[in-house]
Amino acid sequence: MTPLAIGIDLGTSGARAVAMTPAFDIVAQGASSLTDHGADARDPGVWWRAVEAALEQVLAVVEPSSVRAIAVDGTSGTLLPVDADGTPLARPLMYSDKVEDEGLLVRIAPVIARDSAAHGATSGLAKALVFQDTDGIAKVLHQADWIAGQLSGRFDTTDENNALKTGYDPVAKRWPEWIAATGLRPELLPRVVAPGTPICVIAPATAVRFGLTEDVTIVAGTTDGCASFVATGASEPGDGVTVLGSTLTLKLLCDQPVFAPEFGVYSHRINGLWLAGGASNTGGRVLARYFTGDEIARLSEGIDPQEESALDYYPLLGPGERFPVMDANLQPRLEPRPASDAAFLKGILEGIAAIEKRGYDRLADLGAPALRSVRSVGGGAGNAAWTAIRQRRLGVPFLQAHSEQAAAGAARLALKGLEQVREPA
């Protein structure tokens, strides 16, 4: 019987699960919306019920006894306080929630290391400080930690990627000493392991609940963003992934960490390498202001991607850019507008492609390796004309993403953990 690993992705709207073979083939999938399990998407009980439903769908397709490992990814920066049994003690603060205590933020800002990802009102560190005086608190956990705890019965462990925004130092591989200077009690922080590290076996009651064997390994997961990268199959320094969504996000595997907080660039340790990236304010939402999806598809058929236009656009919805330049006053540049809508669309696509090229060059300037390949995901990845424009700009091979599902990335980490379990002592 082929051993299987299950990856679980808990996102902003629902849960997904996939079962994967050691050859990275996905043999079953499940999905469940949070709204199907309650009106409050911030309720951890709703999260868990959605995960249960997605997992049940997968286990209805595969033989449960073939499942050997499970890993979970969740939204980065979502935290909740729990007691010693893992019971939530307050409503979670979600990834995008801001801590409104300006006095707290001003007080801790000078203490936080310059290169740390724990700066800002949405950081996990600021949220942990808000929670630490909760009655009965034993630990402050990230979303993925809590779901993994539901599977394992252990509520004391996190991974290096989820811990990054809470102040973890991935280079030194520890919670830094300066965290205590912020006033946070260090004993509230979970222990940290690398993504893909076996944590423990599944809790007996959970194994019975899902019809699984009691020796299924629960493996440390990651954030949803890192899981999405891992899912693509990118695995070597210089492998890049461009996310062509509402914004333009670039991620690049590196052989050394890259930190440039002035550009919002931090590095996650993943699979023995480092994942650096940046996000521009350009992207699909600019296209959506001027064209519908059907119009983009129709007009793209009339674009010659090999001929450069004379337009020099910097497509933004309004003033301000964060990467590859940091300029709060940078103005959109979308003029002159040609009479032809196809020519106007081509100019925007070229402008976004130019920002993509500049972004990868910026990462290289900061110490990342030169781009050697690109995998593209997101809504714009299927546009053939845009792909050709981008290929001409970047000048590297464009490779097919193995999967765009974060759950598939979590499953790959579960497989990695399973390999460690099998290694001889």
- Secondary structure letter of residue 259 according to DSSP: -
* 3-state secondary structure at position 88: strand
- Strand arrangement of the beta sheet that strand 398-399 belongs to: 267-270, 273-280, 248-254, 239-244, 373-377, 398-399
* pLDDT the model gives residue 154: 96
pLDDT tens-place values along the chain, 425 residues long: 899 999 999 998 999 999 999 999 999 999 999 999 988 999 999 999 999 999 999 999 999 999 999 999 999 999 999 999 999 999 999 999 999 999 999 999 999 999 999 999 999 999 999 999 999 999 999 999 999 999 999 999 999 999 999 999 999 999 999 999 999 999 999 999 999 999 999 999 999 999 999 999 999 999 999 999 999 999 999 999 999 999 999 999 999 999 999 999 999 999 999 999 999 999 999 999 999 999 999 999 999 999 999 999 999 999 999 999 999 999 999 999 999 999 999 999 999 999 999 999 999 999 999 999 999 999 999 999 999 999 999 999 999 999 999 999 999 999 999 999 876 54
Number of H helices, E strands in the chain: 13, 16
Give Dmax over CA atoms of the chain in angstroms: 70
* pLDDT the model gives residue 280: 96
The topology under which CATH files domain 4-226+406-422 is Nucleotidyltransferase; domain 5 (3.30.420)
* Whether 66 contacts 2, CB under 8 Å: yes
CA distances from 214 to 149, 197, 219, 286, 399 (A): 15, 18, 14, 51, 39
* Vertex 42 angle, CA 41 and 45, to 5°: 85
Q: Using CA atoms, how far apart are residues 242 and 374, in angstroms rounded to an integer?
A: 7
Let me know if 122 is exposed, middle or buried by CB neighbors in 10 A (0-12, 13-18, 19+): middle
The topology under which CATH files domain 234-399 is Nucleotidyltransferase; domain 5 (3.30.420)
- Secondary structure letter of residue 323 according to DSSP: S
Could you list the beta-strand ranges (E) of 75-182.
Answer: 79-82, 139-142, 157-159
Q: Using CA atoms, how far apart are residues 380 and 355, in angstroms rounded to an integer?
A: 15
Let me know if 39 is exposed, middle or buried by CB neighbors in 10 A (0-12, 13-18, 19+): exposed
Contacts of 372 (CB under 8 A, 6+ apart): 236, 237, 238, 239, 240, 396, 397
DSSP H or E run through 225: helix 224-231
Domains 4-226+406-422 and 234-399 share a fold: yes
* 3-state secondary structure at position 233: coil
Token pair of 390 as six digits = 């981008």
Q: Using CA atoms, how far apart are residues 284 and 397, in angstroms rounded to an integer?
A: 23
Token pair of 294 as six digits = 């059907």
Q: Using CA atoms, how far apart are residues 81 and 89, in angstroms rounded to an integer?
A: 6
Q: Using CA atoms, how far apart are residues 168 and 9, in angstroms rounded to an integer?
A: 22
Dihedral class, residue 173 (left if φ above 0, else alpha if ψ from -120 to 50, else beta): left
* Whether 38 contacts 49, CB under 8 Å: yes
* pLDDT the model gives residue 424: 53
What are the boundaries of each domain within the chain?
A: 4-226+406-422, 234-399
* Helix locations, 321-405, DSSP H: 341-365, 384-394
DSSP H or E run through 207: helix 204-210
Query: Residue 361's Cα: distance from chain center in Å?
Result: 22
* Whether 355 contacts 340, CB under 8 Å: no
Q: Using CA atoms, how far apart are residues 246 and 242, in angstroms rounded to an integer?
A: 12
Token pair of 23 as six digits = 């050859």
R_g over Cα of the chain: 22
pTM of the predicted model, to two decimals? 0.94
Strands 273-280 and 373-377: unpaired
Tally of residues, the chain:
425
Dihedral class, residue 217 (left if φ above 0, else alpha if ψ from -120 to 50, else beta): beta
